[in-house]
């Protein structure tokens, strides 16, 4: 058996304390799961926050209390209903649980849990690469336990279940999402029998809560190349069960020999482009959603070809409904995605030499501080295989960005606020609260956006005094 070496010194010091704690309470203890897997992928030597899981043959809570005492920390959380405990220590999250075995009823995802051995605990793991463990016991300290060939699967870069995949996914259908998530994050393949089981069991995902699904989905979205995961979700049929709008993007229609591009694969390319530009989770969601309403607005116009007029506005309307159904937040993050979807066609409309400062001013006003993210999304939307077209589009966007900088420097429209408040309008014109106050503020705003007056208080006040009679009877 292999004896593990070259563990991060800080982690090894903690492992030695846990080993002594296990001996003190008379329980065997093992390091399990992701930490062990990541060690063999050379991902644990970085000095970063880590989650480390421990299984003990006995009470996880009893062992954790002893470990906390020996480490001299009071940062211990106990979850009696789950038989687990958690210690935060030196940028490490240490999780303790007693070894257990599980069995499932056919129509329930809630397992029947019993105390078990290390072997029982390994059997309930989702994938062979997550069933690896190290002993922290005196008689074989540091010994690798690999009952299902997880090390070979790591070398082959393969995701495989330790037991029959149909049973694995029937027990907990979320494991299908996890298989695709790990394959995407680690850039692994999914073993053939495991992949076919996902295809066969895809409908079982319907019993999983939207919160658990979207947690895995967001990890796929944040992978270096998220298109890999979405391609798997589509091909296995999982995506059809929780994101049918995205599935409808797939396919190409042809009329009079004229075809449009496949908007599903185009969307994935845009998503990868945003990921490659360092986009955060919500900018990536804007990429996913930017063409979501194209199927609903698709029309063939003789002499013109395929059109998708209004897909930006309709897609923006859909964002809240889709976010709600998927379990995504309905706060400012949703509004940010909705804004980018609504505006994603606007910058390309500003490429002509005749573009007015007013048009640029309005774009800056509507996008606000998100203007840079909007431009990132627009550049990511260039997916042509024609190098000349790509260069031309990028030159166009260079021009637009330069115009934005010029107008912003002159007019300061980002995070714009009306220079005249409602209170000042009422005081200056001696009027009560009512529609006229809002109408006057709107008129001032439009005058500034159109360039009739500068974005300054005195100019706005003088303009108000000139137009007041139009709004006050």
Strands 50-56 and 92-98: parallel
Q: Are residues 151 and 17 in the same domain?
A: yes
Query: Helix 311-326 and helix 210-221: axis angle, to 10°?
Result: 120
Q: Tokens at residue 392, please?
A: 């031309």
C-alpha span between 77 and 91 (Å, rounded): 16
Same structural domain for residues 146 and 237?
Answer: no
Residues 118 and 207 in one domain: no
442: phi then psi, degrees, rounded to nearest 5:
-65, -40
Among 220, 242, 264, residue at a domain's last position: 242
Number of domains the chain is built from: 3
Residues 147 and 177 in one domain: no
H-helix segments, 292-433 = 294-297, 311-326, 332-343, 357-367, 371-380, 387-411, 422-429
Query: Could you tell me the pTM of the whole model?
Result: 0.85
Nearest to 145 by CA among 31, 23, 17, 39: 31
Q: Round to whole Å and give the CA distance between 374 and 382.
A: 13
| CA atoms of 411 and 360, how far apart (whole Å) | 11
Q: CA 150, CA 206: separation in Å to the nearest integer?
A: 29
In whole angstroms, give the CA distance from residue 291 to residue 312.
7
With beta carbons less than 8 A apart as the criterion, state whether 100 and 124 touch. yes
Task: Divide the 473 residues of the chain into consecutive groups of 10 and give the mean pLDDT of each group.
Answer: 70 92 94 92 72 92 94 92 90 90 52 61 86 92 92 96 93 95 97 97 95 97 98 98 96 77 94 96 98 92 82 96 96 96 88 73 86 93 84 83 79 75 87 87 85 85 87 79
Assess whether 189 and 143 both reside in one domain: no
Considering 209, 224, 242, which residue would you say is the last residue of a domain? 242
- Calpha distance 421→61 (Å, rounded): 60
Number of other CB atoms surrounding residue 360 within 10 Å: 22
Q: Are residues 13 and 152 in the same domain?
A: yes
E strand or H helix at 52, and its extent? strand 50-56
pLDDT at 104: 46
- Could you give the CA distance from residue 271 to residue 265 in angstroms, rounded to a whole number? 10
* CB-based contact 287:277 (threshold 8 Å): no
* Residue 283 CB contacts under 8 Å (≥ 6 apart), including other chains: 274, 340, 373, 376, 377
Cα(223)–Cα(229) distance, integer angstroms: 9
* Cβ-defined contacts of 425-433 (< 8 Å, 24+): 425/464, 428/461, 428/464, 428/465, 429/464, 429/468, 429/472, 431/472
Residue 112 counted as domain residue: yes
The structure tokens listed for 66 are 């002893």
- CATH value at residue 126: 3.30.460.10
CATH number of 238's domain: 1.10.110.30
Considering the domain architecture, whether residues 42 and 136 belong to the same structural domain is answered as: yes
**Same domain flag for 85 and 152:** yes
Question: Which of 454, 455, 468 minimizes the C-alpha distance to 424?
Answer: 468
Confidence (pLDDT) at 267:
97
- What DSSP element (H or E) covers 271? helix 263-276
Beta bridge partners of residue 384, listed in sequence order: none
Residue 358: inside a domain: no
Element (H, E) at 54: strand 50-56
Q: Please, are residues 423 and 455 in contact by the beta-carbon 8 Å criterion?
A: no
Classify residue 100: in a domain, yes or no.
yes
Residue 440 forms part of a structural domain:
yes
What is the domain extent for residue 466? 422-470
What's residue 77's pLDDT?
93
| 213 in the same domain as 134 | no
């Amino acid at each position: 058996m292999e004896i593990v070496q070259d563990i991060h010194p800080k982690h090894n010091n903690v492992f030695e304390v846990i080993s002594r704690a296990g001996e003190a309470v008379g329980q065997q203890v093992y390091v399990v799961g992701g930490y062990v897997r990541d060690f063999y992928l050379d991902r644990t030597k970085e000095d970063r926050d880590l989650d480390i899981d421990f299984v003990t043959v006995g009470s996880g809570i009893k062992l954790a209390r002893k470990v906390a005492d020996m480490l001299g920390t009071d940062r211990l959380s106990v979850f009696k209903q789950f038989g687990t405990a958690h210690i935060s220590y030196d940028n490490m999250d240490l999780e303790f649980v007693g070894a257990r075995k599980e069995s499932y009823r056919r129509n329930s995802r809630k397992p029947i849990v019993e105390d078990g051995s290390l072997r029982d605990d390994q059997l309930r793991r989702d994938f062979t690469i997550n069933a690896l463990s190290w002993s922290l016991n005196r008689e074989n300290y540091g010994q690798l336990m690999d009952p299902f060939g997880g090390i070979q699967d790591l070398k082959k870069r393969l995701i495989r279940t330790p037991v029959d995949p149909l049973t694995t996914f029937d027990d907990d259908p979320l494991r299908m999402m996890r298989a695709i998530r790990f394959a995407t994050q680690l850039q692994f393949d999914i073993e053939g029998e495991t992949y076919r089981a996902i295809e066969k069991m895809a409908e079982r995902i319907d019993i999983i809560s939207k919160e658990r699904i979207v947690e895995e989905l967001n990890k796929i979205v944040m992978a270096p190349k998220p298109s890999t995961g979405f391609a798997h979700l589509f091909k296995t049929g999982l995506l059809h069960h929780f994101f049918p709008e995205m599935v409808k993007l797939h396919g190409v229609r042809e009329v009079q020999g004229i075809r449009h591009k496949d908007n599903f694969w185009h969307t994935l390319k845009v998503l990868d482009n945003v990921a490659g530009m360092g986009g955060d989770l919500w900018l990536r969601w804007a990429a996913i959603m930017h063409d979501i309403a194209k199927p609903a607005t698709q029309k063939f116009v003789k002499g013109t070809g395929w059109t998708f007029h209004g897909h930006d506005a309709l897609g923006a309307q859909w964002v809240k409904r889709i976010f709600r159904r998927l379990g995504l937040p309905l706060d400012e993050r949703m509004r940010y995605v909705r804004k980018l979807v609504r505006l994603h066609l606007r910058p390309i409309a500003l490429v002509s030499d005749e573009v007015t400062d007013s048009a640029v001013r309005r774009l800056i006003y509507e996008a606000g501080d998100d203007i840079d993210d909007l431009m990132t999304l627009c550049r990511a939307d260039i997916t042509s295989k024609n190098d000349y077209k790509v260069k031309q589009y990028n030159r166009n966007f260079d021009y637009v960005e330069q115009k934005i900088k010029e107008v912003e420097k002159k007019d300061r429209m980002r995070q714009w606020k009306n220079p005249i408040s409602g209170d000042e309008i009422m005081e200056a014109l001696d009027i009560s609260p009512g529609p006229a106050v809002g109408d006057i503020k709107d008129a001032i705003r439009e005058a500034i956006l159109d360039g009739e007056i500068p974005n300054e208080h005195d100019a706005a006040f003088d303009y108000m005094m000139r137009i007041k009679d139009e709004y006050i009877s």
